[in-house]
Structure 1
């Protein structure tokens, strides 16, 4: 059995006060093993982004516990959280969040520089990850000189350069055209398969979700269903995802 990287136990998240309380997450529990590529799906307002925010320590749960690498992140103080986030989590955002005044190399190396890793080691790790994501030719370019797909792969490289326990991707293909989206998903697949990265990706898009190995479907703040890809081809898995999405009901445009 693989090592458990993430354990979510009976978490709840409420917003509001007095008579006007919204239950964004309603008693969710699950775990993720090392090397998994897990997708979180659901219509807008289902609680999937709130779930990701709680796991990423950006938001605090109302009750329950979240363990990452055995550490209960719900009980770490804010100073400790910043360090924990930097050392254990990688983030891939929809809008890249690259720094315009830094080259691709500098953007990728930033977390290592802050962590006072020596220059030789930074160089080795940046070159290694750039090669695996096929972005060696843009290392000396600034974000404005890159295509959307290149920017997203630079952002992916930055997310995994610190060898995080968990990479969190929030709608990573949301701002990309279909060709760039496919390239990014193939990059995530490579990070997962070749570099053993554990990835959790929130998406409303069935095609994007079909790259994951397991999907949790969230409805009204609860886990509605779970799909495991197993030996299915991506096309077969995609068709099963569509079936569950249809069962979920609601406005189809919210889910695709």
Structure 2
């Protein structure tokens, strides 16, 4: 089976000839279908720029990014919007639910834009809602939901288009410990039950321990890589912390 994501020698520079910053410096890797990959690194390491290039929010200076064999670095603006809607899912730390729509309508929005038939939309929403245990909140508005319910609704919205890749940028960054754990449990559920392919940027070792594999970015390059294998999450957390320590002077920015 071909990888879902292939990043091939991408570079992203900012500035002009006299003052060039290499935010991403010749990075290559791939992500297989069903993988849960974390990206860690100190502030300014290039991890968010990398995610922005993969999500088509930003463009690369050189190199190529393939998602299901489509070279997204060559797509035009209109094609990029369509590709983003159909192939990518996003999980945000603040949920980004629309207050004027109920849960059902928030989840349905992407499919409505794609002009999917109402019967198909209804069937898909109820299937996902059942697996995420949110059938009883579909008619509620965001202000009527708990934080955990909002998280699951947002996760259902990310899943509903059957995206090739779900992207999460610091998904627990603004959450308390209880809410963080609930969101991470939901993401783990998406990965295990739906076989969703997830790529998550985080500065937090506990959050990263939920992933199968961690890419450590430093100065725009891949510094190290860890595979969880058969480790428990606790054991994987310990190994992650060992690499964080190897980052030396950057440790205060990573934790």
Shorter-chain TM-score: what band? over 0.9
Cα displacement string for residues 172-209 of structure 1 (whole angstroms, at most 9, x for unaligned residues): 11122211211111111111111110000000111110
How many Å separate the matches in 2 of 1:135 and 1:254?
A: 37
Partner residue in 2 for 1:124: 123
1:251 positional shift? 4.3
Partner residue in 1 for 2:194: 195
Taking only aligned residues, the RMSD between alpha carbons, in angstroms, comes to 1.1
How many Å separate the matches in 1 of 2:41 and 2:60?
A: 20
Structure 1: state its 5+ residue gaps: none
Cα displacement string for residues 131-180 of structure 1 (whole angstroms, at most 9, x for unaligned residues): 22222222111112222222222111101100000000111111222112
Work out whether residues 149 and 176 of structure 1, in 8 Å CA contact, stay in contact via their aligned partners in 2.
Answer: no
1:120 positional shift? 1.5
How many Å separate the matches in 2 of 1:213 and 1:38?
A: 6
Partner residue in 2 for 1:204: 203
How many Å separate the matches in 1 of 2:241 and 2:52?
A: 26
**Structure 1: which 4+ aligned runs deviate by more than 6 Å?**
none
Aligned residues: 255
Partner residue in 2 for 1:30: 29
Work out whether residues 171 and 203 of structure 1, in 8 Å CA contact, stay in contact via their aligned partners in 2.
Answer: yes
Work out whether residues 11 and 64 of structure 1, in 8 Å CA contact, stay in contact via their aligned partners in 2.
Answer: yes
Q: Is the partner of 2:133 in helix, strand or coil? A: coil
What does 1:1-256 correspond to in 2, within 5 Å?
2-256=1-255
Q: Is the partner of 2:249 in helix, strand or coil? A: coil
Give the TM-score normalised by the residue count of structure 1: 0.97
How many Å separate the matches in 1 of 2:132 and 2:174?
A: 19
Q: Is the partner of 1:122 in helix, strand or coil? A: helix
How many Å separate the matches in 2 of 1:192 and 1:163?
A: 13
Give the TM-score normalised by the residue count of structure 2: 0.97
Q: Is the partner of 2:139 in helix, strand or coil? A: coil
Work out whether residues 89 and 168 of structure 1, in 8 Å CA contact, stay in contact via their aligned partners in 2.
Answer: yes
Cα displacement string for residues 10-41 of structure 1 (whole angstroms, at most 9, x for unaligned residues): 00000111311110000000000100000000
Q: Is the partner of 1:61 in helix, strand or coil? A: coil
